[in-house]
Structure 1
Amino acid sequence: MSRSAHAEAQNQSYRLTDWLAYVALRLVICFIQMTSLERCDRVCRLLAYLMTDWIPIRRNLLAENFQLIYPDWSLRESRKVTREMWHHLLLMCCEIAHAPRKIHRENWHEHYRISDRRGILQVLMDERPAVLVSGHFGNFELAGFITGLFGFPSTTIARPLDNGFIHDFVMGFRSLGGQHFLPKEGSAEEIQDLLRDGGKLALLADQHAGEKGCWVEFMGRLASCHKGLALFTLSSGAPMMVCSNVRRGRPLVFDLTLLGVADPQQDGEHLNGIPALTMWYNQRLEQAIRQDPEQYWWVHRRWRTPPASRVRKAA
């Protein structure tokens, strides 16, 4: 474990209540794994209906996000996408539970359709480091799973879970797919070492970065983005690859799509600085999300009030 990981681990809890929560989670996962994916799909649709129409969860936030991004939608359209979104999120959890038992090197082609294998492999097999970018869209967890299955491990950055038992379990699952983990705070040195050694850094790009972040348009509204994503590429020469992994038709069947590659060795206005590259990858994600809005996480507060100075600059 790295020094930063040790420091983060000190803030984790291993109390009895944490263990009971962990046991409850394992029981739920066991139940999901005992149930066929087809039945899981039906149960998820029922729960999505209840969470939308009977026990509305995060209704105000969802309404606010839809009003910002799709102001022309009717109430009926918003509820339809809300219902489909909850179904997607619930089914995503079921797919993650089933994937290690159902997807392997002999049958992966039954579950993934990869539109540009050559382009993806060029980045993954390059001796240079790479920054792999996605968002809270589709089943992003299983995008990392399939690349790890074929021997392309990646490292992701995330805040450790407070419950130490659950954190260890989740990290154990991710390691099955060849994914490694660095804590969000205090990992600068490890990230530099990773990129220097030609490693692959996998990041979710649509997380709020606070007032001091890089404010660019995302889905037609200003959103704060972490400057580090663009900085990793611009400072290390690592190509940035933007991908999505969207469900098609039935559970555990995906389109893994290459949305774009920004290579510092090639010319392009999108490589002229942090704001330009940040805007570029947000545009790639936006194009994909608008095609399948029901598979985006509308339940997180992506759009917040920008500082006055940024509003004046945008105007």
Structure 2
Amino acid sequence: MLYAVARGFYLLLAYVVRYRKRVVLENLRNSFPEKSGAEIEKLAHQFYWHFSQVMVEVIKLATMPAAELKRRVLFRNPEVLERHFANQRTVLGLSSHAGNWEWVLTSGALWLSAHTDGVYKPLSNPFFESFMYRLRTRMGSGLIPMRDTLRDMVQRKGEVRVVSMLSDQAAGPEDRPYWTTFMNQDAGFYTSTERLATRFRCPVVYVSIRRLRQGYYEIVLTELYDGDSPLPANDFPLTAAFVHQLEQDIRLFPPDYLWTHRRWKHKRVTE
């Protein structure tokens, strides 16, 4: 029934309100310059269908039993995290707005032996902030406002847990970002991963969420840093590795990324 509702959302978003259609098409054209106009239009519609499914899946999360969520989100290799938990480590999990990103944190609370916390940006609307907070924490996960991340890491230093971050957010020039080419475009990324991993000796894991079929996903973990090896100063190998992994995922599953996001809105400042 909910996927029938999703079909209605798709028709509304793609054909009636044309939700951020200009942004979607611009992002796709710039990311896949080798594709024809017809191919770009097809990708856009595939994205709107994916996005509509995610919308109803988020709604379903409000009432979904834990057993059903665990059945629908498969962690392929949780041992990547579990071996760090056994060594009493806090692990940084780097994820993105791909697949159903809202199911990553909540399902992690069911699959993993340690606590899961998500770094997030609180919503300005009090009603939606309250609703999404309850949704994201109902399986036992915690939330950390982005501005409080460092304070939280200091206060809970040494706690065995995962701190999950959506690391594909657009960092502006004022954030002193790591600039690189991402999907054929200049993009700035936050560099907090390097600073937190170095200061707190945190292993870093890339979290890939992929759609298997309608309503079912798998999560594949890739270790980017063991938490012990020295990291070069004034360099950002972990962020670069994250960008590389994310671009690989997007190219494998182009419709499953959040193309309505103005990811490339900031421009590199040149002197």
TM score, norm. by length of structure 2: 0.88
Q: Choose which of 8, 11, 19 in structure 2 pairs with 1:57.
A: 19
How much has 1:264 moved relative to structure 2? 2.8
**1:308 is paired with a residue of what secondary structure?**
coil
The separation in 2 between residues aligned to 1:125 and 1:49, in whole angstroms, is 48
Q: Which has the higher helix share?
A: 1
Cα offsets for 1:154-189 (capped at 9, x unmatched): 222222222223322221222212221222225432
**2:263 is paired with a residue of what secondary structure?**
coil
C-alpha change, 1:124 and 1:173, in structure 2 (3 Å) is: farther
Does residue 264 (structure 1) correspond to residue 264 (structure 2)? The answer is no
Contact 2:115–2:160 under 8 Å retained in 1: no
Partner of 1:117: 78
Partner of 1:66: 28
Matched to 2:60, the amino acid is H
The separation in 1 between residues aligned to 2:128 and 2:69, in whole angstroms, is 28
Cα offsets for 1:250-287 (capped at 9, x unmatched): 22x111111333113247xxx43442221111111111
Does residue 308 (structure 1) correspond to residue 261 (structure 2)? The answer is no
Contact 1:123–1:241 under 8 Å retained in 2: no
Contact 1:49–1:83 under 8 Å retained in 2: no
The separation in 2 between residues aligned to 1:172 and 1:125, in whole angstroms, is 30
Partner of 1:245: 209
Contact 1:194–1:200 under 8 Å retained in 2: no
Q: Which structure has the larger Rg?
A: 1
The separation in 2 between residues aligned to 1:124 and 1:80, in whole angstroms, is 43
The separation in 1 between residues aligned to 2:9 and 2:164, in whole angstroms, is 31
C-alpha change, 1:68 and 1:123, in structure 2 (3 Å) is: farther
The separation in 2 between residues aligned to 1:241 and 1:218, in whole angstroms, is 19
Contact 1:159–1:183 under 8 Å retained in 2: yes
How much has 1:103 moved relative to structure 2? 4.4
- Aligned pairs for 1:36-185 within 5 A: 39-99=1-61, 101-105=63-67, 110-150=71-111, 151-185=113-147
Cα offsets for 1:136-155 (capped at 9, x unmatched): 11112211111112453222
How much has 1:196 moved relative to structure 2? 3.7
**2:118 is paired with a residue of what secondary structure?**
strand
Structure 1: gaps of 5 or more residues: 1-38, 310-315
Percentage identity across aligned positions?
21
What is the number of residues matched between the two proteins? 266
Does residue 209 (structure 1) correspond to residue 133 (structure 2)? The answer is no
C-alpha change, 1:109 and 1:164, in structure 2 (3 Å) is: closer
TM score, norm. by length of structure 1: 0.76
The separation in 2 between residues aligned to 1:69 and 1:250, in whole angstroms, is 25
C-alpha change, 1:143 and 1:124, in structure 2 (3 Å) is: farther
Contact 1:152–1:178 under 8 Å retained in 2: no
The separation in 1 between residues aligned to 2:165 and 2:157, in whole angstroms, is 14
Contact 2:157–2:200 under 8 Å retained in 1: yes
How much has 1:307 moved relative to structure 2? 1.1
